[in-house]
Structures are given as C-alpha cells and as structure tokens.
C-alpha cells in the first residue's frame, strides 16, 4: 500500500489503493470483499498489505461466487455497513447481474432502505485479455435506474471518485480502467478531497469540436487533440467521469460552445452510452448543432484476443482525427 506523501507521483492504481486505505481508516463501517484480496493482495495488487493492517474480517476473501457475495454486500449495506466489493475483472460482474439490477438498484425505490454499496470493476481492453478479461459492461447497468456509475480517467479522479462512491448512500459501480493502472501518474493532494459524483470535467478546452468521452479514451482524445491542433482544429475534451447521473449541463455547455460533437467510448457502438448522449443533444440542444453527431466506438463484437484483431477493435487516434476533419467542414 502507498500512503500519501507530499510531492510524490502515484499511479492510477496507487490512487485507488490510497482511497480505499483512507476511507477504511476514516470509517470503520467500510470493509472489503472480493476474491483473492486478502493475503494475495488482489489480482492487481490494489489491496496489498490491507489485510495485515485491517484484519481478516475487514478484508474478506470470498468464495468464487459473485452473486452470493454481492448479495451479501447488499445485505450488509442495508444494515448500515459500507462494503466495497472487488470484481476480479469487470467481466465477472455478469454473475452478479441479478443481485445488482433487481435487488440493489430497486431497493430504495421500493421500500426506502438505502444500499450504500460500492462495486469496483476493472474494465477495458488493450491488455491482450480476450473476451472475458477486457469487457466494458457499463452499458448493461446504464439502463438500471437506482445505480450510479462512475469511470475515472486520471489518478486524481480515481481517488476522489472512489471516496465519493464510498460515502454515497446509493449503490455505485466504479469502473476502473485496467489499461490505465500503471500508465497514468500524477501528484495528488495530501489532504482529503472528493470528486463529486455527477460532474463531468473539461480536460482540454477547445473552440471547434466537443469530444465527449470517459476512462482510457480520454487519453486517446487528448492525443488526437494535440495532432489536430497542428492543423488548426481545436478539440474540447469533455471527460464524463460519471456515467449515471450524466452531467447534462457540462455536455450541453460544451456543445453550445463548439456546435459539433463526437461521442467516443471503448464500449460497443450499438446501445452504448454515446447513443444516449447523442439522443440528448439532438433532443435538447438541436439548435446549437452545426453538424451531425458522430460516434466512435468499438464494433459490435466481443473483445477479440489476437493482437491484430484487438487493434482493429479498439478506437484509434486516427479515427478521432478523421471524424474531426469530417466535422470541421460544416
């Protein structure tokens, strides 16, 4: 585990670890459940050292039974605990789909009992993981009223959003992008801070085209922005940070400013979150648009394994550049 030190750079992964550590120290109701998170420290080592520090009842190694232990986390949350469940890979969240969408999501609506639960889900591809270790499952839960969904792109957001998720009285699915774990670093504040759920952030201001995106694709958008700036096209990169509830205000403000929008996500195109935001823009921001709303996303296939297949599958900088050039003429 890493503790916060002034001036020290931490990775996205370490930021998540810090958030867990600080919240567990701050609030004795917070405890962890998941496979191999105890002595092993978790498949990605995020909980390394935690069981030694907090004991085996606050860092619980569960049986291989996602539905069972997510259900248990729901029950504990109803009784006032603050469980943080780790899915070893986001792909396994499908085993707990029923408990998440039927029990957790609908609980407060039906009989007023809050479910202050967090489920951490390492998602996304680019790691040669194949169909069951690279999935972006957020689309399934986007459509489940009662859940909050967040997806940070930076260490700062990763730490702040996880803290906010743990303190939120609702079930929050926290999608952490495994590709970013060790690839993005930052110096973080040492004092306690949260990133509010429900607020997007403009990661790069630009006058010409809004790129609405989240997680690993934020970095792809920033890369494309640097290239396009050279040909006089200025991208504005809007990092959603929260998928549900969507920050419509920030999205619309950006669209009004640029008049052009590109939806960018790693999830499959059809029925992905980009489709919803495109519909919202067309519905509520039509007058501000100067051109069609474009979507860049993975094709409608499972995530393939072989390198050339996965490269084809994932959105590329070139896709963003081409889309931006297409919109620039409007």
Active site residues: 133
Nearer to other proteins (CB atom), residue 113 or residue 207: 113
Q: Interacting stretch for other proteins, rule CB under 8 A, among 5-13, 102-110, 154-162, 226-234?
A: 102-110
Residue the block writes with tokens 């469940």:
85
Q: According to CB under 8 A, which residues from 49 to 68 bind other proteins?
A: 57-58, 60, 62-63, 65, 67-68
Phi, psi for residue 302 in degrees, rounded to 5: -65, 165
Q: Confirm or reject binding of residue 69 to other proteins (CB under 8 A).
A: yes
Q: Cis link prior to 179 (omega < 30° from 0)?
A: no
- Out of 43, 74, 240, 298, point to the residue binding other proteins (CB under 8 A): 74
Least Å distance, CB 83 to other proteins, is: 8
- Out of 1, 4, 72, 322, point to the residue binding other proteins (CB under 8 A): 72
Q: Is 147 exposed, middle or buried (0-12, 13-18, 19+ CB in 10 A)?
A: buried
Q: According to CB under 8 A, which residues from 32 to 51 bind other proteins?
A: none
Nearer to other proteins (CB atom), residue 115 or residue 255: 115
Cβ atoms of 295 and 326 within 8 Å: the answer is no
Q: Is the dihedral of CA 152, 168, 115, 109 positive or negative?
A: negative
Would you state the structure tokens that stand for residue 250, as one six-digit string? 């920030």
Least Å distance, CB 85 to other proteins, is: 11
Cβ atoms of 135 and 123 within 8 Å: the answer is yes
Least Å distance, CB 153 to other proteins, is: 24
Three-class SS state of 125:
coil
Q: According to CB under 8 A, which residues from 131 to 170 bind other proteins?
A: 145-146, 148, 167-170
- Out of 41, 116, 124, 272, point to the residue binding other proteins (CB under 8 A): 116
Q: How far apart are CA 159 and CA 11, in angstroms?
A: 10
Nearer to other proteins (CB atom), residue 244 or residue 324: 244
Distance of CA 166 to the CA centre of its chain: 14
Alpha helices in 113-247 (DSSP H): 138-142, 155-167, 216-229
Q: Confirm or reject binding of residue 87 to other proteins (CB under 8 A).
A: no
Residue 287 makes CB contacts below 8 A (sequence gap 6+) with none
Q: Which helix (H) or strand (E) holds 323?
A: helix 317-328
Q: Confirm or reject binding of residue 70 to other proteins (CB under 8 A).
A: yes
Q: Confirm or reject binding of residue 108 to other proteins (CB under 8 A).
A: yes
Q: According to CB under 8 A, which residues from 165 to 204 bind other proteins?
A: 167-170
Interface with other proteins: number of residues (CB under 8 A) = 45
- Out of 24, 76, 118, 273, point to the residue binding other proteins (CB under 8 A): 76
Cβ atoms of 12 and 159 within 8 Å: the answer is no
Q: Confirm or reject binding of residue 99 to other proteins (CB under 8 A).
A: yes
Nearer to other proteins (CB atom), residue 115 or residue 264: 115
Cβ atoms of 180 and 153 within 8 Å: the answer is yes
User: Which residues lie near other proteins (CB under 8 A)?
Assistant: 31, 57-58, 60, 62-63, 65, 67-81, 83, 98-99, 102-103, 106-116, 145-146, 148, 167-170
């Amino acid at each position: 585990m890493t503790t916060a030190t002034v001036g020290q750079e931490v990775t996205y992964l370490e930021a998540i670890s810090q958030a867990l550590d600080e919240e567990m120290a701050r609030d004795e109701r917070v405890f962890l459940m998941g496979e191999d998170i105890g002595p092993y420290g978790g498949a990605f080592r995020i909980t390394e050292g935690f069981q030694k520090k907090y004991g085996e009842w606050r860092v619980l190694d569960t049986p291989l039974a996602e539905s069972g232990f997510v259900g248990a986390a729901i029950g504990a949350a109803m009784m006032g605990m603050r469980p943080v469940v780790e899915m070893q890979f986001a792909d396994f969240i499908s085993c707990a789909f029923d408990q998440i969408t039927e029990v957790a999501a609908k609980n407060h609506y039906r009989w007023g009992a809050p479910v202050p639960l967090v489920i951490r889900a390492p998602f996304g591809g680019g790691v040669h993981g194949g169909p069951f270790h690279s999935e972006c499952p957020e689309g399934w839960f986007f459509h489940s009223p009662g859940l909050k969904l967040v997806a940070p792109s930076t260490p700062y957001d990763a730490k702040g959003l996880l803290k906010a998720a743990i303190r939120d009285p609702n079930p929050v699915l926290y999608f952490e992008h495994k590709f970013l774990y060790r690839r993005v670093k930052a110096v973080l504040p040492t004092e306690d801070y949260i990133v509010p759920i429900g607020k997007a952030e403009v990661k790069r201001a630009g006058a010409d085209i809004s790129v609405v995106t989240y997680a690993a694709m934020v970095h792809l958008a920033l890369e494309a922005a640097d290239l396009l700036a050279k040909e006089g096209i200025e991208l504005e990169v809007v990092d959603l940070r929260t998928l549900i509830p969507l920050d419509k205000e920030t999205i619309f403000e950006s669209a009004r400013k640029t008049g052009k929008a590109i939806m960018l996500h790693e999830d499959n195109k059809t029925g992905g979150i980009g489709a919803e935001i495109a519909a919202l823009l067309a519905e509520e921001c039509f007058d501000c648009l100067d051109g069609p709303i474009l979507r860049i996303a993975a094709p409608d296939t499972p995530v393939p394994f072989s390198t050339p297949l996965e490269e084809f599958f994932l959105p590329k900088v070139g896709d963003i550049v081409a889309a931006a050039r297409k919109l620039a003429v409007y």
